[in-house]
Amino acid sequence: MTVLPPARIAPSLLSADFARLGEEVAAVVAAGADWIHFDVMDNHFVPNLTMGPMVCAALRPHTQAPIDVHLMVEPVDALVPAFAKAGANIISFHPEASRHVDRTLALIRDHGCQAGLVFNPATPLDWMDHVMDRLDLVLLMSVNPGFGGQSFIPHTLQKLQQARGRIDRWQARGGQAIALEIDGGVKPDNIAGIRAAGADAFVAGSAVFGQPDYRRVIADLRQGIAQGDAQRSAAAEPDETIVS
Ligand code: DX5
Ligand code: ZN
């Protein structure tokens, strides 16, 4: 079993105070967040409406942390240059929302950003088969997209293990690094199992912004991640009953 890359915690602004977004970004980064997860919803691909490139550009001067843009929009391509110009670092999209997935992935990199593909709970991982070399990130949805505060769908853990296996095999053959991010219902009390299943980036919206002390909850999330690493190491130990 492979050792996972260092964990990244990406608080989702969807659950932040929209009247104080700049302060919220600065506060979660000061509290230990690695990335800022920026959920873009269009009331078409998903039944909700949130923020666009102008808000991303307005937040950019408030932090040096990478801005991880999750596009829940259809179509996708016209927004890629707009978000790149607005200072996004990572841009991810849902394959169902792009007519030409390979082209959209290339477009994101051509604009100087890292490219990610997002998998809804019922979207098969096969979508990554022919574009592995174009991916910087795979984002697995552990809820149906559109809203914060939903419960983690348990079977996502098996899908996460499968995605981890695909990425590990790709990298073992000399492929580039691909981050594996999970989004939806991540909490301090379930993050250990999610880490053990292979995630290395963790979106958390309501778990972080729903608490008064961001530093405390991010520390709790990191403690859970450490437990998940310990579970993986224990599972990787040779079984002495078989070895001896
Ligand atoms: C859902 C969004 C998530 C959401 C997660 O469509 O993509 O990023 O903010 O929120 P929680 O962590 O509350 O499930
Ligand atoms: Zn998201």
Q: In which band, very low, low, confident or very high, does the pLDDT at 237 lie, cut at 50, 70 and 90?
A: confident
- Rounded to the nearest angstrom, the gap between the alpha carbon of residue 223 and the centroid of all alpha carbons in its chain is 19
Tell me if 41 CB under 6 Å of ligand 1. Answer: no
**Residue ranges of E strands in 2-127:** 8-11, 36-41, 67-72, 90-93, 114-119
- Residue 242, pLDDT above cutoff 90: no
Cβ neighbours of 227 (radius 10 Å):
15
Model confidence pLDDT, tens digit, residues 120-149: 999 999 999 999 999 999 999 999 999 999
- Residue 241, pLDDT above cutoff 70: no
User: How far, in Å, from the CA of 12 to the mean position of ligand 2?
Assistant: 7
Q: In which band, very low, low, confident or very high, does the pLDDT at 238 lie, cut at 50, 70 and 90?
A: confident
Q: Is the pTM of this model over 0.85?
A: yes
Mean pLDDT of the chain: 96
- Residue 240, pLDDT above cutoff 70: no
- Separation of alpha carbons 27 and 202, rounded Å: 18
Q: In which band, very low, low, confident or very high, does the pLDDT at 244 lie, cut at 50, 70 and 90?
A: very low
- Residue 46, pLDDT above cutoff 90: yes
Tell me if 187 CB under 6 Å of ligand 1. Answer: no
- Residue 243, pLDDT above cutoff 80: no
Mutating to test ligand 1, I would choose from 147, 186, 191 the residue with most ligand atoms within 8 A of its C-beta, which is 147
pLDDT given at position 34? 98
**Residue ranges of E strands in 6-88:** 8-11, 36-41, 67-72
- Separation of alpha carbons 211 and 130, rounded Å: 41
66-67-72-74 Cα dihedral, nearest 10 degrees: -100
Tell me if 188 CB under 6 Å of ligand 1. Answer: no
Tell me if 37 CB under 6 Å of ligand 1. Answer: yes
Tell me if 9 CB under 6 Å of ligand 1. Answer: no
Name the residue type at position 225.
I
Among the atoms of ligand 1, which is closest to the Cα of residue 150? Answer: 14
Report, as residue numbers or ranges, the catalytic residues: 39, 183
Q: In which band, very low, low, confident or very high, does the pLDDT at 239 lie, cut at 50, 70 and 90?
A: low
DSSP 8-state secondary structure symbol assigned to residue 136: S
- Separation of alpha carbons 91 and 117, rounded Å: 9
Mutating to test ligand 1, I would choose from 9, 12, 211 the residue with most ligand atoms within 8 A of its C-beta, which is 12
- For residue 142, the ligand closest to its alpha carbon is 1
Report the pLDDT averaged over residues 153-161: 98
